[in-house]
Amino acid sequence: GFLPLQGHVVRNWKVRWFVLLQDKLLYYKIEGGKKEPSPKGRILLDGCTITCPCLEYENRPLLIKLKTKTNTDYFLECCSREERDSWALDITGAIHAGHPVQVQELHRMKNSFKLLENISLHNIVERMYDSSTGIKLTRNLDQGNRYKETFTGSALVDWLISNSFAVSRFEAVTLASMLMDENFLRPVGVRSTEATRSSDPSEKFLDDSTALYMFAESSKKNTSSKEEVHFNISELSGTVVKQGFLVKQGHKRKNWKVRKFVLRADPAFLHYYDPTKEDNKPVGGFSLRGCLVSALEDNGVPAGVKGNVQGNLFKIITKNDVHYYIQASSKAERVQWIEAIKPLT
């Protein structure tokens, strides 16, 4: 599948097509909408160590870090926590292929804690923001620095338990770590920031009255105008139904670019992002009301499509008669996207 990868010489981000084999992870360049025949590079898994979640980049909370036995670091970014955990589990399984007991332990840890049914991380954060029943924000002092609108780790654990999101302090710490992984919360001050570098996921969030945290959005005051805020809220407030990397044909130059697509309902919008950029703002999007979506045959290149494409194409026509041509990575993925989009049109 597609994953953004950070370069070694120029530290920019490029989207590559990754293939996991038993002893190596290959990645390919996409040209003109088609995977090149030879790998652009390979990551040898023998002696490799994996860090997941990796919190070294604040604007990229869904990273996997691989360190080879020659001490070369690779950073891979995923679309969602579920996708990240799936990749991490499969890569770790390949690294420890000769040690089945370790692989079984990984599966056990992965399934050891699950969110209660009908509760989402978004709902928890909304409840935390509530002015009357949410978590209390206070001024706190850490290492001589004064922070506004923060809360302690132990206060959040207490709040999660009292609001029935967790039944034990261990579950509450796990849930708080998930909120950090998804970039809803961020550590503030020396103690909580240093804890995020721990190799043990259960120690990244501290159930402690001296560890400080805040809402991640509190530090992002970079909207340029009231009009832009209104525009973003109206389109980006819907529930995320599906997200993933797809290849999209441009409207002007007709070239193909990998984009991260996010499908939302209520209101129904499909937005796409440039995964190589640091900011998390859409580069385009449209309302799905009145749209037509359909699969395109793989035998031959349909009219309106340029380039030597890989296949698995589908088309979305907006009610304003704008045509979007998109490639999925497989027939199954194309079917999943079409079935997710159709009910929202």
Each residue's pLDDT tens digit, 85-136: 889 889 988 888 756 555 555 555 555 555 555 567 788 888 898 888 899 9
In a domain, 48, yes or no: yes
Give the global pTM.
0.63
Alpha helices in the chain (DSSP H): 81-95, 100-110, 121-129, 153-162, 169-181, 190-195, 226-236, 331-341
In a domain, 225, yes or no: no
> Contact at 8 Å (CB) between 97 and 109?
no
DSSP at 344: G
Rounded CA separation 291/321 (Å): 9
Of the three residues 220, 241, 271, the one that is the final residue of a domain is: 220
195 band by pLDDT with thresholds 50, 70 and 90: confident
Sort strands 145-152 and 185-188 into parallel, antiparallel or unpaired: unpaired
Of the three residues 188, 220, 252, the one that is the final residue of a domain is: 220
- How many of the other CB atoms lie within 10 Å of CB of 101? 7
Chain segment 9-68, per-residue pLDDT in tens: 677 899 999 999 988 999 998 887 778 889 999 999 988 999 887 877 877 878 899 999
- Reply yes or no on whether the pLDDT at 230 is more than 50: no
In a domain, 174, yes or no: yes
**CA distances from residue 206 to 152, 180, 198 in whole angstroms, order as listed:** 9, 12, 11
Sort strands 73-77 and 63-67 into parallel, antiparallel or unpaired: antiparallel
**Closest C-alpha to 95, from 24, 26, 27:** 24
Grouping H, G, I as helix, E, B as strand and the rest as coil, residue 269 is strand
- How many of the other CB atoms lie within 10 Å of CB of 77? 23
In a domain, 228, yes or no: no
Predicted pLDDT at 335:
95
Q: 161 and 100 in one domain?
A: no
Q: Across the strands, what pairs with 284?
A: 272
In a domain, 257, yes or no: yes
Sort strands 34-35 and 30-31 into parallel, antiparallel or unpaired: antiparallel
In a domain, 94, yes or no: yes
Q: 293 and 271 in one domain?
A: yes
Token pair 């296949």 in the structure block, residue: 311
Predicted pLDDT at 228:
40
Of the three residues 58, 91, 111, the one that is the final residue of a domain is: 111
Q: 97 and 130 in one domain?
A: no
Rounded CA separation 112/290 (Å): 43
**CA distances from residue 129 to 173, 209, 219, 226, 324 in whole angstroms, order as listed:** 19, 20, 15, 21, 37
User: What is the C-alpha radius of gyration for the chain, rounded to an integer number of angstroms?
Assistant: 22
How far is C-alpha 15 from the chain's CA centre? 14
In a domain, 227, yes or no: no
Q: 165 and 194 in one domain?
A: yes
> Contact at 8 Å (CB) between 312 and 329?
yes
Q: 129 and 97 in one domain?
A: no
In a domain, 298, yes or no: yes
142 band by pLDDT with thresholds 50, 70 and 90: low
Question: How many domains would you assign to the chain?
Answer: 3
Q: 131 and 212 in one domain?
A: yes
- Expressed as residue numbers, the domain containing 31 is 2-111
Predicted pLDDT at 102:
56
Output the domain CATH number for residue 86.
Answer: 2.30.29.30
